[in-house]
Amino acid sequence: MKRRIIIIGNGFASLFFIGAFLALPIMPIFAFFLRRLYSRYDITVIGNGRFVYFPAIPEFITGKKSKDSVTVDIRPWLWRRNIRFIDDRVISVRDGGRTVVTTKSRYGNDALFIGTGPAFRTDDIPGTREHTFSPCGGPDEMNRFMDRLNDLQQGIIYVGFKLNKRDGFVAGRAGQMYECACLLDYSLKKRGLRDDFEIHLFSADIAPGETGAVTDRLQERGIILDYGYEPAAFVDGGMRDTDGTFRAADLVLFTAGIRAPDWVEQSCLPVSGGGHIDVDKFGRVKGLERVFAAGDCSNHENPPPWVPHQAHMAQLRSEAAAKNMRLVLKGRQPSHHYRFELSCILNMENDALWLHAASDNKPPFWNLFPRHSPKLIGLKNLFERLYLFYLRHL
């Protein structure tokens, strides 16, 4: 009998999980036929069918990327792998993980992978939903931000982030917001309007006076550093400080700390102190049989404090989870761990930095590339093109 596997979500974590779970060293066209002739697994993905390549969203600011260029209809990719797709939204997981409840139905499984991505702690600062935009909200929200930006001929723009560090690692988006601030500087200069705008970078998670390569790049661009600052509330036309002072802002681009989506709380899934799905070092959801999770919805066991939520980390975690699920389905114990690695190219359009840290101190790509060079932008674009080509055609 085929084992029924359900995968929740069609983002980075789920697609990397599938890639590792079904690893076949042959051409896709053969794999297509082979998987229909013989497969030990009956795999179902539940999601919205649209994959979003989030790392390219900051480039909406320069006009180099758009909703169409970063979105992929993932259903053909799943079909080529003989994976059933259900266009629905999961609202609960019950019976120790064996039942997945969606808005329209319920599905049983022998093993479950959860890759539903993040929710944001937008209640931490009142007014976040009403008065700020975020690149993490996806292409439509970023387009709304761009419409507002393009209407302005002068003004004050605040770019900021808040991190959730309650689970001992960096659940939030810092690098992406630095990138947005630098790209705003670039694009306003290109429009000949830079002198008519103030750009501020704020976060209570950066110590006032902090130095380093990123700070140097922000200062080179005349970006005002409000390190250590957090508003008491976002309000119409700006922000209110804790002492009641009003700060004017024409636009705020802000991203809140990350936690697991709300429906997780209505499930049998354990939730960590920081609000993530609680998993062990094998990617297993704690206390449940044959249930795994990876990506932005889940925490880590004993993480180094610098590790962030990233597509790259989602890849490392999902690959380990896929190997462990295969072992568990064969009645064996999971044995695959994953490395912790922060790896991210900060694209400033006229310059780029490779931000990197690894638990085993391995450099990225055997140190073949410089850590600070505008040429890294081409490399970042190459990674993106290759991945999107793979999703669209292979």
Ligand X SMILES: Cc1cc2nc3c(=O)[nH]c(=O)nc-3n(C[C@H](O)[C@H](O)[C@H](O)COP(=O)(O)OP(=O)(O)OC[C@H]3O[C@@H](n4cnc5c(N)ncnc54)[C@H](O)[C@@H]3O)c2cc1C
Min separation Cβ 116 and ligand X, Å: 4
Q: How far is CA 23 from the centre of its chain?
A: 23
The CB-nearest residue to ligand X is: 11
Considering only the stretches 110-118, 147-155, 193-201, 240-248, report the one whose residues sit in contact with ligand X under the rule CB under 6 A. 110-118
| Near ligand X by CB under 6 A: residue from 131, 173, 290, 300 | 173
> Which of 154, 164, 149 has its CA nearest to residue 58?
149
Task: Give 40's Cβ-side CA count (13 Å radius).
Answer: 7
To 10 degrees, the CA torsion angle through 159, 223, 363, 55?
40
Backbone angles phi, psi at 172, to 5 degrees: 175, -175
Q: Is residue 263 near ligand X by the rule CB under 6 A?
A: yes
CB 10 → ligand X: shortest distance, Å? 4
Is there binding between residue 264 and ligand X (CB under 6 A)? no
Are the C-beta atoms of residues 342 and 308 closer than 8 Å to each other? Answer: yes
Q: Which residue's CB is nearer to ligand X, number 45 or number 328?
A: 45
Nearest distance, CB of residue 298 and ligand X, angstroms: 8
Q: Which is nearer to ligand X, 40 or 104 (CB)?
A: 104
Of positions 18, 20, 43, 57, contacts ligand X by CB under 6 A: 57
Among 5, 6, 7, 10, binds ligand X (CB under 6 A): 10
Question: Pick from 41, 43, 44, 58: which binds ligand X (CB under 6 A)?
Answer: 58
Nearest CB to ligand X, comparing residues 247 and 288: 288
Query: DSSP assignment, residue 2?
Result: P
Please tell me whether residue 47 binds ligand X under the rule CB under 6 A: yes
The Cα 243–Cα 232 span in angstroms is 9
Phi then psi dihedrals of residue 205, to 5 deg: -85, -5
What are the Cα distances from residue 176, in Å, to 103, 158, 187, 231, 309? 33, 14, 16, 20, 11
Q: Is 278 in the site for ligand X (CB under 6 A)?
A: no
Among 9, 155, 238, 275, which residue interacts with ligand X (rule: CB under 6 A)?
Answer: 9
Q: What is the DSSP string of 327-383?
A: HHHTTPPP------EEEEEEE-SS-EEEEEEETT-PPGGGG-S-SB-THHHHHHHHH
Q: Is 44 in the site for ligand X (CB under 6 A)?
A: no
353 binds ligand X (CB under 6 A): no
Query: Which residue in the block uniquely carries the two structure tokens 């290109």?
Result: 190
The answer to whether residue 116 forms part of the interface with ligand X (CB under 6 A) is yes
- Residue 146 tokens, joined: 């761009």
Question: Which of these ranges, 33-41, 268-276, 281-289, 307-315, lies near ligand X under the rule CB under 6 A?
Answer: 307-315
Cα dihedral 19→45→261→233 (10° resolution): 80
Residues forming the site for ligand X (CB under 6 A): 8-14, 46-48, 54-55, 57-58, 89-90, 115-117, 135-136, 173, 176, 261, 263, 295-297, 309-312, 314, 344
